[in-house]
Amino acid sequence: MGKNVLVVGTGRFGRYTIETLNKLGHEILAVDQSEEKVDKVLPFVAGAEIGDSTDEEFLQTLGIDDFDLCIVAIGDNFMASLETASLLKDMGARKVVARATSDLQERLLLRCGADEVVFPERQMGRWTAIRFSADNIIDYIELADGYTIFEVEVPLAWMGKRIVDLDIRRNYDANILGVSENGKMNMSISAETVLNRGEKVLVLGPLEQMRRLFRL
């Protein structure tokens, strides 16, 4: 079921967030002071407002308590981001997620009303470093408690072998979740599944063990 989402700030981070929310079926209201930036996201939103998110009277006209999620995606004015997060929470926002670029900004945002803080540049930097540290890594996702899921091309040493022959669960505390060929992921695999050239696999495990497994 789609959510009602308010996104404040329609720069690059805000725009990509809006486009993804739209693909996921959520209803979005976009807010920015720049008409030019707002125009770029109009195909992806249910509504848009041009205004100052640090203006309490303006925010009150948006009906903040109607939104399931408020994302503060302002990237070039931290004080505006801080004030916006604080005002949103004061007005009864259910959940406020704000963008930060430093640990200090994170602490201030959390103190002033944000429920969660994201670091787009830091997260993308980590993804880039890990993604290109080995030739066969296609993608990876960080999970809670230090676990990750890696999507990798089947390593040369794994080709022609059954999953049980690799014994990565015992050696690396890792599990193969699925095998993909020609863009179709098969999650119905077993210990007897044979890995072949050209296939991709999803592997779940602790990051430190995955670094050893894939020699990162």
pLDDT value of position 129: 82
| Side chain identity at residue 52, one-letter code | D
pLDDT in tens, 142-162: 887 888 898 999 988 899 999
C-alpha to C-alpha distances, 178 to 54, 189, 190, nearest whole angstrom: 47, 6, 9
Q: What is the mean pLDDT of residues 23-41?
A: 94
pLDDT value of position 139: 86
C-alpha to C-alpha distances, 22 to 27, 44, 113, 118, nearest whole angstrom: 7, 6, 26, 19
pTM of the full predicted structure? 0.72
Q: Taking a C-beta distance cutoff of 8 angstroms, is the pair 81, 109 a contact? A: yes
Q: Taking a C-beta distance cutoff of 8 angstroms, is the pair 8, 70 a contact? A: yes
Q: And the tokens for 121?
A: 């540049």
**Percent of the chain predicted with pLDDT > 70:** 100
pLDDT value of position 9: 95
